[in-house]
Chains A and B, each alone.
Chain A
Amino acid sequence: MNPAATSSEPHVIDPAKRRLAIFIVLACTLLVAWAQYLIKLGANRLSHAGLMATLIGIFAIPQLFAGYCLYGLFTVMFIYALRNGELSILYPLIALSYVWVTITGVMAFHEGMNPLKLAGLAVIVAGVAVLGLGGGGGGE
């Protein structure tokens, strides 16, 4: 690793804390999926609303409001995790929420499942695993 790359880091991050940060973000993707489930319930009423009506709807429609509160909780946890991890690892990990959202869609909204979607889920999990397992070490 290029020594200049670490010179701006305020302190060397302990590997156990790095792993905790990765775990927190992965666990919090469940919150994102829950939030998106609620937002989907609320957003169906907004398909033809303008930008301003959408803004008001976030406060007026209970499902949208609850969904955004969960997003808020996720953001707090994400900020906490960012203190001990690399942004370039932690941010893409949020993609795991696609897996939960797709499963929720199939179970709650009776969306169809097909081989292409299933393959997509598997590849996302593989990508998250590569980042989560390989990125924790802090090097190549």
Chain B
Amino acid sequence: MTTPISSMVLVLIGSVIGSIGAIFLKSGAHAVNRRWTSIAFNWRLAVGIGTYLVSSVLFVKGMSNGELSVLFPLVSLGYVCTLAWSRLFFHEPITKVKLAGVGLILIGITCLGLGGR
């Protein structure tokens, strides 16, 4: 079984879009207070949830054809993007602890995918 380029592109776009969705979820989460309108009219949460839905559809499509050994590492690239977005938008420092943790997760997911051959 080989992995079509289209599956790789779908999964890659899905993981990047998912990490962008998380930015909107976080900024939206901070705008929530005790009033129901702070949730109902929270456009950031709506955009975040919308991008999650889009990325889920892309994942379902991408994952249905292709090898996990190729597709799993692409999914985990979303975590690396998140480190960059978090620094850019929320001024969260990129520490050695975070790099080590995300690095281990990337290696682990790659091993999982390779083991799934």
- Partner-B contacts on A (CB < 8 A): 1-2, 4-10, 39, 43, 46-47, 51, 54-55, 58, 68, 71, 75, 78-80, 82-83, 86-89, 91-92, 95, 98, 102, 111, 114-128, 130-131, 134-135, 139-140
B98 — which chain A residues lie within 8 A by C-beta?
Answer: 88-89, 92, 131, 135
Residues in B neighbouring A114, C-beta threshold 8 A:
115
Q: How far is the CB of A74 from chain B (nearest CB, A)?
A: 10
* B107 on interface, CB distance cutoff 8 Å: yes
**Would you give the shortest CB distance from B57 to chain A, in whole angstroms?**
6
Bound together, the chains give a CA A115 to CA B112 distance in angstroms of 10
| B4 contacts A by Cβ under 8 Å | no
Knowing A83-B32, A91-B19, say if A117 contacts B57 (CB, 8 Å).
no
B82 and A92 within 8 A (CB): yes
Most central of A6, A10, A119, A120 by chain B CB within 10 Å: A120
Residues of B that sit less than 8 Å from A by CB: 19, 22-23, 25-26, 28-30, 32, 45, 48-49, 52, 56-57, 60-61, 63-65, 72, 76, 78-79, 82-83, 85-87, 90-98, 100-116
Interface residues of A, dominant DSSP: helix
The answer to whether B112 and A92 have CB atoms under 8 Å apart is no
Say whether B97 contacts A88, CB under 8 Å.
Answer: no
* The one of B25, B82, B91, B95 that contacts A4, using a Cβ cutoff of 8 Å: B91
